Chain A
Amino acid sequence: DSGVTQTPKHLITATGQRVTLRCSPRSGDLSVYWYQQSLDQGLQFLIQYYNGEERAKGNILERFSAQQFPDLHSELNLSSLELGDSALYFCASSVGRLAGEEDTQYFGPGTRLTVL
């Protein structure tokens, strides 16, 4: 158990809908990262938040957005869903400082999104 929690575990929805995925980082971690894993693309970085502020953006679609709240949990919002958005979505957390082992990102169990 990495200490990172994600809810829900599974989500089934229809095209055009909007969903929210939730992540709670490990105790003491200030950085949260979101990744998408699909069969044909592997793990792709979406976005990072550090202590409530957006820190880095990857290949995140405009239909997707995220935020990190004062209690450090994070939510990933996916809207106007398409069939191709079906994937595993992972959250990871780290302390957020650059030095040493604190760089390490610890992953949650993921949310499996199925868009029908």
Chain B
Amino acid sequence: EDQVTQSPEALRLQEGESSSLNCSYTVSGLRGLFWYRQDPGKGPEFLFTLYSAGEEKEKERLKATLTKKESFLHITAPKPEDSATYLCAVRPGPDTGRRALTFGSGTRLQVQP
């Protein structure tokens, strides 16, 4: 069974204080690891897809990295508008016949001015 564990559950940062969110996963033949941002009461907003260990992707103040067991979402010099819940999800390999994403419980990030 695919499992995704995110830590910490909640994180409070001061504006400009960089940090990292962790996503540990267990999946049969990783097809893709996805990061989403979710604001309260809204749908998840796609951020990144990572496909293989060593891959990195960046977007503004966010950088996602991937190893064989975990992914990190690094937030550099965050701003209050970065406050949201960040979700990590995995998709198993095609040999499993499973196509759905398995999501972690998310990290609630609050950035204070």
Q: Give residues in A with beta carbon < 8 Å to B.
A: 2, 4, 33, 42-45, 48, 55-56, 58, 88, 90, 98, 101, 103-110, 112
Would you call A42 and B106 a contact (CB within 8 A)?
yes
* B interface residues, tally (CB under 8 Å): 24
How many A-B contacts at CB < 8 Å in the complex? Answer: 56
Counting from the closest, the 10 A-B pairs by CB-CB distance are A107-B43, A45-B100, A43-B103, A107-B44, A42-B105, A109-B43, A56-B99, A110-B43, A103-B32, A108-B43
Would you call A103 and B31 a contact (CB within 8 A)?
yes
Q: List 22 A-B contacts (CB under 8 A).
A: A2-B46, A33-B101, A42-B104, A42-B106, A43-B44, A43-B101, A45-B100, A45-B102, A56-B98, A56-B100, A58-B100, A98-B31, A103-B32, A103-B49, A104-B32, A104-B49, A105-B34, A107-B43, A107-B46, A109-B42, A110-B41, A110-B42
